[in-house]
């Protein structure tokens, strides 16, 4: 999950800006999927085309009809394309060292807004966030950590999907401070922002 540059949510009602102190390197291959509509990992995030970069974060069936939004360093948003399916995709931040485009649904935007503003997330509103180009490095235990320390359990994540907004969905998944990031695990366990991290294989 992001640490440094998730700043705001407002596309119509909300917009999500997301980034990180460090990011996973680019990875090649395709995420597992039941059909051929999933974006190829490692092909879009480094693109100079922000729409191509943003669309690389999620399956094509979602990203193609999503709103595309950019965010400058001051948190000012610009809509590059108005979507029709309730999803919002954000291209890779060019000032950070690796790919981190993201696509989120409406419930995930509400969850992120609560996290940003230190509020309780809405209950019973399961949301999904795609980061198929790679994840952001972050503390696995402190939702507001901005850099690794000896105490904050910094981890590295690759391409993944996040499921947020549901305590029930976390049941049965490991939630320790030092998870195996190659398998699903709970991030920020014990906080209001606990969520499921689901890695996508190469």
Cα 109 to chain centroid, rounded: 10
What is the reported pLDDT for 26? 34
Average pLDDT per 10 consecutive residues for the chain, totaling 202 residues: 36 32 33 32 58 96 96 80 96 73 94 92 94 81 84 85 94 91 93 94 66
What is the reported pLDDT for 198? 95
What is the reported pLDDT for 17? 33
What is the reported pLDDT for 43? 42
Please state the pTM of the whole predicted model.
Answer: 0.75
């Amino acid at each position: 999950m992001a640490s440094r540059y998730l700043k705001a949510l407002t596309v119509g009602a909300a917009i999500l800006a997301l980034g990180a102190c460090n990011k996973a390197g680019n990875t090649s291959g395709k995420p597992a999927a039941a059909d051929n509509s999933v974006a190829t990992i490692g092909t879009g995030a480094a693109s100079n085309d922000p729409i191509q970069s943003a669309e690389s974060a999620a399956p094509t069936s979602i990203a193609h009809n999503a709103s595309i939004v950019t965010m400058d360093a001051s948190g000012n948003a610009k809509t590059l394309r108005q979507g029709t399916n309730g999803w919002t995709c954000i291209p890779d931040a060019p000032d950070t060292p690796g790919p981190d485009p993201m696509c989120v649904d409406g419930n995930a935007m509400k969850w992120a807004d609560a996290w940003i503003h230190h509020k309780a997330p809405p209950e019973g509103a399961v949301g999904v966030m795609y980061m198929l180009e790679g994840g952001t490095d972050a503390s696995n235990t402190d939702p507001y950590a901005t850099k690794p320390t000896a105490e904050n359990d910094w981890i590295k994540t690759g391409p993944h999907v996040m499921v947020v907004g549901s305590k029930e969905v976390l049941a049965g998944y490991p939630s320790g401070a030092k998870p195996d990031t190659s398998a699903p695990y709970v991030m920020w366990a014990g906080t209001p922002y606990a969520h499921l991290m689901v890695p996508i294989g190469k």
